[in-house]
């Protein structure tokens, strides 16, 4: 892959519960970002390494976000590690807001971020954590059966802007290596692919999960996935805030930390977790041009 980029390309590296991202600031959307370049950036051996890319663009400068520009100045153009686009990334949007603060584009407090899944309001909390209003979950009766190593489970279909299949297992080890996407059927339920979560109970309103992400393989956390898991677990447990008028909070352990998810009676889901900027620098032009050895 070669690039025609002539000016040095700045990047940052960040993570939220170890779901890690290459951040590319590109306010005016001047950087050509083909799938192959995203995949090279996310390569953990020959690139910077990451589960995805957070392309930071002014909403007004991006065709997918122009309509949201009045509500949100900045657009999270999210790319999976394989270069595909995704509607939303829950950990990514927290790290995105942390970047906006780091770059001086916003001060501590609330910021609206445009995503392909709509505008998300993100609150930079005083204790260093970040809370996002993630919108509502859409649960569908159209489920699938997921299979790993001779075992299989029914999986709940939950849409958080992006698609999820949530399977309850006795032991997270039953999810196997997750090197490859676990087979599921009927495949027609998810024409655009799916993120698959495996969930095990840890205590009252407390679960742990592993995830195979669409476009990225197993990651150490998935924020939209944790929200899907919290809602699917609440319904399994007979808890429905819309019916009782009482918010329900679940703690979701992921391999890279912990996320706290609250579903409110109006259906709005809030997620709180960390967001960290790790490093920043400039990409080597020779590497970028594909001519570096």
Positions marked active-site: 89, 222
Closer residue to ligand LBFN2T5F (CB): 135 or 215? 215
Radius of gyration over every alpha carbon of the chain, rounded to an integer in angstroms: 19
- Shortest Å distance, C-beta 16 to ligand LBFN2T5F: 7
- In angstroms, the CA 92 to CA 72 distance is 16
Which residue ranges make up the site for ligand LBFN2T5F (CB under 6 A)?
19, 52, 80, 86, 89-92, 162, 195, 213-216, 219, 222-225
Closer residue to ligand LBFN2T5F (CB): 29 or 91? 91
- Shortest Å distance, C-beta 214 to ligand LBFN2T5F: 4
- Shortest Å distance, C-beta 79 to ligand LBFN2T5F: 9
Give the residue from 61, 60, 77 showing the smallest Cα distance to 69: 60
**Helix boundaries (H) for 51-174:** 90-102
Closer residue to ligand LBFN2T5F (CB): 3 or 91? 91
Residues 6+ apart with CB under 8 A from 123: 109, 110, 130, 131, 132
- Cα–chain-centroid distance for residue 122? 14
Which residues carry a binding-site annotation? 19, 80, 90-91, 162, 195, 213-214, 223-224
**Residue 96 Cα distances to 63, 71, 72, 121, 141, angstroms:** 19, 16, 13, 12, 33
Closer residue to ligand LBFN2T5F (CB): 3 or 77? 77
Which residues carry a binding-site annotation for substrate? 19, 80, 90-91, 162, 195, 213-214, 223-224
């Amino acid at each position: 892959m070669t690039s025609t980029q002539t000016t040095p390309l700045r990047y940052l590296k960040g993570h939220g519960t170890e779901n890690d991202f290459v951040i590319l600031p590109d306010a005016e959307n001047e950087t050509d970002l083909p799938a192959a370049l995203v995949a090279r950036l996310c390569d953990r051996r020959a690139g910077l390494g990451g589960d995805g890319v957070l392309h930071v663009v002014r909403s007004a400068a991006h065709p997918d976000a122009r309509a949201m520009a009045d509500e949100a100045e900045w657009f999270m153009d999210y790319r999976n590690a394989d270069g595909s686009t995704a509607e939303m990334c829950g950990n990514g949007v927290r790290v995105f807001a942390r970047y906006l603060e780091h770059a001086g584009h916003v001060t501590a407090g609330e910021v609206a971020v445009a995503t392909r899944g709509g505008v998300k309001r993100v609150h930079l909390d005083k204790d260093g954590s970040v809370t996002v209003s993630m919108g509502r979950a859409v649960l569908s009766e159209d489920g699938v059966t997921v299979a790993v190593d001779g075992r299989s489970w029914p999986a709940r279909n939950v849409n958080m802007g992006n698609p999820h299949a949530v399977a309850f297992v006795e032991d997270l080890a039953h999810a196997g290596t997750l090197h490859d996407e676990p087979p599921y059927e009927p495949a027609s339920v998810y024409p655009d692919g799916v993120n698959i979560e495996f969930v095990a109970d840890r205590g009252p309103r407390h679960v742990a999960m592993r995830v195979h992400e669409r476009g990225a393989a197993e990651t150490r956390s998935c924020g939209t996935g944790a929200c899907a898991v919290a809602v699917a677990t609440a319904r399994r447990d007979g808890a429905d805030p819309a019916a009782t008028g009482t918010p329900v909070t679940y703690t979701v352990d992921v391999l890279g930390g912990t996320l706290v998810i609250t579903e409110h009676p109006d259906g709005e889901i809030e997620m709180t977790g960390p967001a960290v900027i790790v490093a920043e620098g400039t990409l080597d032009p020779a590497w970028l041009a594909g001519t570096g050895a």
